[in-house]
Amino acid sequence: MIPTLLTARRITTPRLTTRVLVHGPEDGTPVIFVHGNLSAATWWEETMLRLPPGLRAIAPDLRGYGEADPAARIDATRGLDDLADDLAALMDALRIARAHLCGHSLGGGVLWRVLAAHPARVLSLTQVAPAAPQGFGGCRADGTPAFPDNAGSGAGAVNPDFARLLAAGDRGGDSPFHPRSILNTYVWKPPFVPARIEDILTAALAQQTGPEAYPGDALPSPHWPGVAPGKWGPINAMAPVFQRDALAFTRADPAPPILWIRGADDPVVSDSSLFDLGCLGALGAVPGWPGADVFPPQPMITQTRAALAAYPGRVTETVLPDCGHSPYLEAPAAFDRAFHAHLSAV
C-alpha cells in the first residue's frame, strides 16, 4: 500500500510508459530516486516522505521493473543507456531542467551514465551502494572482462532456482533461493527486516521476468563457467563487456558534488561480492574456477573509489557501520543525516 501522502501517476514519454511516485510541493526542487535490481519505486517511499521541506520527490519504476510497460525491453548491448535515456526523457516530460539524483545499486549504475551524458542537468548525485562504473561480474580491476565474451557475468550467472521462484511470484521463505530469503540474507544485513517487508517483497516480485527481461538470455561459451551474457534484460546490461567508456562521468563538466554512501557489511557490491562468480569460485562454491590469474574476483569498491578519485568535482564517501546493501532502509536516521546535508550544501 502506498503511504497516503504519496501520489502515484502514470507518465508516458516518447520512450516509456511507467508508474511514477511523487511527493512534495509542485514547485519544489526535484529529487529523483532510482531503484535497484529486484526492486521498484516502492522501496523509496519512506525516504521520499522524510525529505526536508522545499523538495519534491520523484521515483519511477524503471524499464523492466514494477509497473513499467512490460513490452518495453532493455537492449543490453547498450549497457545501461536504455535506462539512462529513459530518465532523461522522464525529466523532459516533467519539464525538469535540473534535479538532485539518488540511485541505489543498479540505479547507481544507471546514474553514472546519466551524469556522463547530462552533467548540466544534475544538481547533485547520491550513490547508495552503487554498481561499479565498470559493470558487474567477470572483470578485472581495470574493467576488462576475464574472457572476451565476458563469460561468467550477465544472465548466465543468475541462480536458476531463484529465477524460477521469482517468475512464479513465490512469497515463501523456506528455501535459500526464495526471493524473501535472498532479501533477508543479502539485501539487508540480518537480523534486520523492514517493517513493510510485505510491500517491499511485492515490489520485488513485480520484476518483469523472461528471456528478454529477468534474468535475460544467455549464450553458450567455451570459457568457464560455460555461459556468457546475452543481448536482453537488466542483468546482461550490467555485464562489463557492454560498458562502453565506463569512466566517461569522470570528465563531466560541470561536475556536481557526489555523495557515495554504503554499508560496511554489504555482501552484494563489494571487493568480495557473494554475487560475483570470481569470488564464489575462489570460495569453492562454484566448481571448475580457473583461478585468480584467469578469473579474479571483481574489486567493485576499489573500482568505484579509483573512479571517484579521478572525478573533478567534490566527492564524499560515507560508510555506515553494521549495515548491508540498503542503507536507506536499514539505517534511515544515519542515511538521512548524510543525504540531507549533501542536498542542502548545493
Which residue, 36, 34, 256, is CA-closest to 131? Answer: 36
Task: Give pLDDT, residue 4.
Answer: 60
**Predicted confidence band of residue 334 (pLDDT cuts 50, 70, 90):** very high
Q: Does residue 231 lie within any of the structural domains?
A: no
Look up the domain containing 52 and give its range.
7-144+245-344
For residue 127, pLDDT over 80 is answered with yes
Mean pLDDT score, 13-19: 98
pTM of model > 0.95: yes
Q: What's the pLDDT tens digit per position in 49-91? A: 999 999 999 999 999 999 999 999 999 999 999 999 999 999 9
Q: Does residue 208 lie within any of the structural domains?
A: no
Tally of domains in the chain = 1
For residue 1, pLDDT over 60 is answered with no
Mean pLDDT score, 172-187: 97
Q: Does residue 113 lie within any of the structural domains?
A: yes
Q: Does residue 252 lie within any of the structural domains?
A: yes
Task: Give pLDDT, residue 193.
Answer: 98
Q: What's the pLDDT tens digit per position in 188-211? A: 999 999 999 999 999 999 999 999
The mean predicted confidence, pLDDT, of the chain is 97
**Predicted confidence band of residue 5 (pLDDT cuts 50, 70, 90):** confident
Q: Does residue 72 lie within any of the structural domains?
A: yes
CATH number at residue 134: 3.40.50.1820
